[in-house]
Structure 1
Amino acid sequence: MRVITGFVLCATLATVHAQTDFPNKPITLLVGSAPGGSNDIFARAIGKQLQETLGVSVVVDNKPAAGGILANVLLAKAPADGYTLVVLSSTFTTGAAVRKNLQYDAIKSFTPIAMLAKGPMLITVGNNTPFKTIEDLVSFAKANPGKLNYGTSGVGSINQFASELLSEAANIKMTHVPYKGMGPAVTDLLSGQIDMIIASAPSLLSQVKNDKIRALAVTTVDRSEVAPEIRGLKEAGFPKAAVDLWWGVLAPAGTPKPVVEKLNKSINQIITSEAMKSFFVKEGASPVAMTAEAFGNHLVNELDRWKAIALNANIQAD
């Protein structure tokens, strides 16, 4: 009995030491998309700063498959020690709201670490359309149900959810045109093949500033520092259609609380520095520091919201 007790005590002490000594080896940041996207850009920026703050190497590992699902599966199966994390965005919850056969539970399989930032999406139309304001677009859609087309990066994407949220708030009916990525959707908006796109500022803002497409509003309630010249949805009369893009960091379920708290504190210090604030704004977002618990609550609320919208709009994954 004493031998067993001693063994358990040693194991417990070793676990405690590993937690208090964290980190003492390289950390991997999984990203479920190819290099160059916002998740990847944010992961590399945060990783560089974490490396300096924590004193260990931080490696970004891109796993661009299945709309980010592969990276999430790998994280769910990784040791719960804080050395494997994932940087993801709003698509994590929209995808979970419509996909039935995920190899993980979006809430139970992970430990929230920190939110990184939030940013608006832009409601844009082609220059060939007659719409100068969002009121013009809504009036046309009400008079011509289903005639107005909107493009997205795919079924179940945050772009589709934001568009259906606007449809619900404005009591209109539009026709969904899904693409395999935002690039071809923007190309068709420019050429007049589709009428409208709701997408992230990084995807559309340069086209707006170059007068190639027209922005009618941002999807946040109020105007955003990312594009202060564009009206928010409260000002446009549709506050219930508001939606933010967000980016955050998760760890596997069961990650020890001391490790979570250390990572959360380090990340919050990094994202609220003046240099990182400027970096995020240039990338179409604003840093948001919150506790790990608050980020977890945000994920739960988002998932519930998207499930309700998916049911109402009959959004189903392919």
Structure 2
Amino acid sequence: MTNLSRRSVVAGGVGLGGAALLGLRPEFARAADFPTKPFTAIVDAAPGGGHDRFTRAITPEWTRITGQPIIPEFKPGAGGVLSATTIVNAPADGYTLGVIAVSSMNVSIALGKPQGFGFGSFAYLGTMWNGPIAVFTGKDSKWESMTQVVEAAKTQKITAAVAALRAMYHISGVIFDKRMGIETQFVPYNGGGPSRQAAMSGETDIVWTGLYDASANYDGLRCLCVFDKENPIPDVIDAPTVYEMFPEQALTLLHPTAYCVSAKVRDENPEVYQYLVDAYRETYTSEATQKALIDLQFQPASLKYTSPEELSAIEADFIEQLKSIEI
């Protein structure tokens, strides 16, 4: 347990006036003796991927704000469970950060994959990016609307490509199928790219994927449905939302990826946790960070900061959706 609370109140400690003397912003005053060493970010993918590029993009501003850099440590494998286990088991001192695909991790937890942790094991700092699930079909496909696909599924086989079975996109499709009273045949491919290629080529009727994940394939795909209350990029993708097409069965399906720490940090060192949340929010929303991310081809619409409270609400809603199906 750090001595942040003690340092914030002792004589000569840091109140608002002390923060000004030290050149610190008031919201960071309570953590005047933290941090004193670099942070480690547990990244659940190989170097060079989106998680790595994001971490490197935020590090300059994070270093400016906290005085300490973020050093990535790559732990790919087991669908993110390996890295998640490392995050959960790290000391509660706040120096071990992590990357979590929130909804995907909830699917893994629901499937019983992780050992030694479950729902509520992570305390979020804020999103890296966030966006809705969407259904696409090939540009030259016969399918003109999601309504047409749903009606056809009642009398014939409809094939849907997914990155993998019993993973986020597949589970999203299963949840929707149950609401609509249909049964799609889900076909697994080795990753998101191959699954989208399957729909583009006509090998499958549709593909379940992320709205932004498909950005590299927009020229070869048509979006049939966006699983959010609004289409966040109507100037890029001309597609209706599930709320417009199926108002009685509509649901929001989001796929946020977030920076987090073990819930032990929040519970055992609340001052440290709040410091990290504040520092992350300032880092993420800064003009320098946003420019760096956009320069790296991150979709601007996906880069809207989502707070820990909002992420927890998204997580709770998705967990309820998981309870509606057998996985």
User: What TM-score, normalized to structure 1?
Assistant: 0.82
Corresponding residue of 2:254: 244
Amino acid at match of 2:67: G
> Quick check: 2:161–2:206 contact (8 Å CA) kept in 1?
yes
1:298/1:214 CA distance change after superposition, 3 Å: closer
> Quick check: 2:108–2:114 contact (8 Å CA) kept in 1?
no
1:28 matched to 2:36? The reply is: no
Gaps of 5+ in 2: 8-29
CA shift, 1:254, in A, is: 2.1
Of all paired residues, the percent bearing the same amino acid is: 23
* Cα distance in 2 between the residues matched to 1:52 and 1:304: 40
1:264 matched to 2:281? The reply is: no
CA-to-aligned-CA distance 1:7-54 (integer Å, 9 cap, x gap): xxxx87589559641111100111112234443343333334312221
- Which range moves more in the overlay, 74-83 or 122-131? 122-131
Corresponding residue of 2:206: 196
CA shift, 1:228, in A, is: 5.3
| SS of the residue 2:173 aligns to | helix
1:46 matched to 2:58? The reply is: yes
Amino acid at match of 2:246: G
State which of 235, 244, 254 in structure 2 corresponds to 1:235. 244
* Cα distance in 2 between the residues matched to 1:14 and 1:48: 25
> Quick check: 2:4–2:32 contact (8 Å CA) kept in 1?
no
Corresponding residue of 2:195: 185
User: What TM-score, normalized to structure 2?
Assistant: 0.80
Amino acid at match of 2:151: S
State which of 84, 92, 104 in structure 2 corresponds to 1:72. 84
CA shift, 1:277, in A, is: 5.2
Once superposed, which parts of structure 1, at least 4 consecutive aligned residues long, lie more than 6 Å away? none
> Quick check: 1:47–1:60 contact (8 Å CA) kept in 2?
no
1:154 matched to 2:154? The reply is: no
1:36/1:234 CA distance change after superposition, 3 Å: farther
1:103 matched to 2:115? The reply is: yes
1:174/1:97 CA distance change after superposition, 3 Å: same
What is the root-mean-square deviation in Å for CA atoms of aligned residues?
2.7
Corresponding residue of 2:232: 224
1:42/1:254 CA distance change after superposition, 3 Å: same
> Quick check: 2:81–2:113 contact (8 Å CA) kept in 1?
no
CA-to-aligned-CA distance 1:155-209 (integer Å, 9 cap, x gap): 221111221222123222101112232222223222222111111234312322x
> Quick check: 2:43–2:74 contact (8 Å CA) kept in 1?
yes
1:268/1:228 CA distance change after superposition, 3 Å: farther
CA-to-aligned-CA distance 1:92-151 (integer Å, 9 cap, x gap): 1122111x241232335333333343212221012453111111111211222xx11111
State which of 67, 70, 73 in structure 2 corresponds to 1:61. 73
Corresponding residue of 1:7: none
State which of 214, 223, 236 in structure 2 corresponds to 1:215. 223
